[in-house]
Amino acid sequence: MTIRHPILAAAFLALATASGSASAQTVVNQAITEREVVAAQRAWCDALVSISTTHATQGQPAAKALAERVIDAAYGYQLGAVLFKPTLTVAPQTFRTTRAGALAYFVGGDPAFPNDKGFALSGWTKCEATNSAIFIAGTSASTMGNVAITGPNGAVTTVDKTWTYVKDSAGQLRIVVHHSSLPYRPN
């Protein structure tokens, strides 16, 4: 088969070369997929419930140890500052750009963050993320939507949630932006 158009011929050759098994090239693709984003959100929700359950069954030290592992696995503090604005924080500690600040928010017990009582210790029994939209741009992804969390008495609290993820050098999604707020309720 002869392809006479030079651009089509070059494109066909590139496609044939890329799909051939004779290529010795290694391809590294750090692009994020929707499936990875949804799995990361599900893992975050599962971790929140696990921290609450661990607190109820094993106490605050065990919950804190689990929260440390969760933060280290889910957030990008090892990459630098994480832009974390938790739901129930007040100035001057509204934003939690450090691991210590995030840990204090989730499990309390840090005198440097005296207002933190431990959001994750509230006896949560269920957590579900629902996205309004997911924006993926190669190696980063942002989501905006709601997270519904169920308390021990069955009451559901819904928060507005925005997350941004990047992949680390091992290909693991890391949260680098986490903004959470209660929905606006006009008077």
Domains and CATH numbers, the chain: 34-181 (3.10.450.50)
Read off the pLDDT of each residue in 166-177 and give the average, rounded to a whole number: 93
Q: What is the pLDDT of residues 36-54, one digit of tens each?
A: 999 999 999 999 999 999 9
**What's the rounded Cα separation, in Å, for the pair 10 and 22?**
18
**pLDDT surpasses 60 at 14:** no
Which residues, in sequence order, are bridge partners of residue 140? 137, 166
Q: State the pLDDT at residue 5.
A: 57
* DSSP secondary structure letter of residue 75: B
Q: State the pLDDT at residue 6.
A: 56
Q: State the pLDDT at residue 25.
A: 80
| Residue 184 pLDDT grade (very low, low, confident, very high; cuts 50, 70, 90) | confident
164 contacts: CB under 8 Å, gap ≥ 6:
83, 140, 141, 142, 143, 175, 176, 177, 178
In this prediction the pTM is: 0.83
Of the candidate ranges 13-17, 56-60, 133-137, 146-150, the one whose mean pLDDT is the lowest: 13-17
**What's the rounded Cα separation, in Å, for the pair 135 and 103?**
28
